[in-house]
């Protein structure tokens, strides 16, 4: 009876260890990927605020798809897949919706301050994936 209990404990501990290792090996951006996408997002500073926001969003979604090794899916689907890792997920969704308004409505304007904040938030979200 003691052997059965010991084997049971070992199986449970082994399962917990495997689960812990699985959680620690989630998809992560490499340092090279982070540097690449950070550089691309930082270059949007030369664009108009609206165009910059559109480009930042496109770069961010490309990074997420690269991370997932997935080329399909809408921006919202890919963002939703990783939102739990973002410390600023509410802000990321805000800029996703703002980007959609810029893309689909005629008179939507983005202020320079909004574009700067969006840049910081996208970079913060990317860093959380390393």
Q: Which residues of the chain fall below pLDDT 70?
A: 1, 19-26
Question: Which pTM was predicted?
Answer: 0.79
Give the C-alpha separation, 112 to 9, whole Å: 59
- What is the model's pLDDT at position 20? 61
**Cα angle vertex 129, ends 124, 130, to 5°?**
100
**Predicted confidence (pLDDT) per residue in 52-89, tens digit:** 999 999 999 999 998 877 788 899 999 998 999 999 99
- Report the length, in residues, of the chain: 130
Q: Which two tokens stand for residue 62?
A: 């490309």
């Amino acid at each position: 009876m003691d052997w059965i209990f010991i084997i049971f404990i070992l199986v449970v501990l082994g399962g917990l260890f495997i689960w812990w290792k699985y959680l620690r090996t989630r998809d992560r951006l490499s340092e090279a990927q982070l540097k690449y996408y950070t550089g691309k997002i930082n270059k949007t500073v030369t664009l108009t605020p609206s165009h910059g926001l559109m480009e930042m969003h496109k770069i961010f979604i490309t990074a997420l798809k690269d991370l997932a090794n997935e080329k399909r899916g809408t921006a919202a689907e890919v963002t939703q897949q990783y939102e739990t890792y973002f410390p600023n997920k509410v802000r990321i969704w805000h800029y996703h919706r703002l980007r959609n308004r810029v893309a689909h409505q005629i008179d939507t304007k983005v202020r320079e301050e909004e574009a700067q904040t969006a840049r910081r938030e996208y970079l913060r979200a990317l860093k959380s994936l390393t």
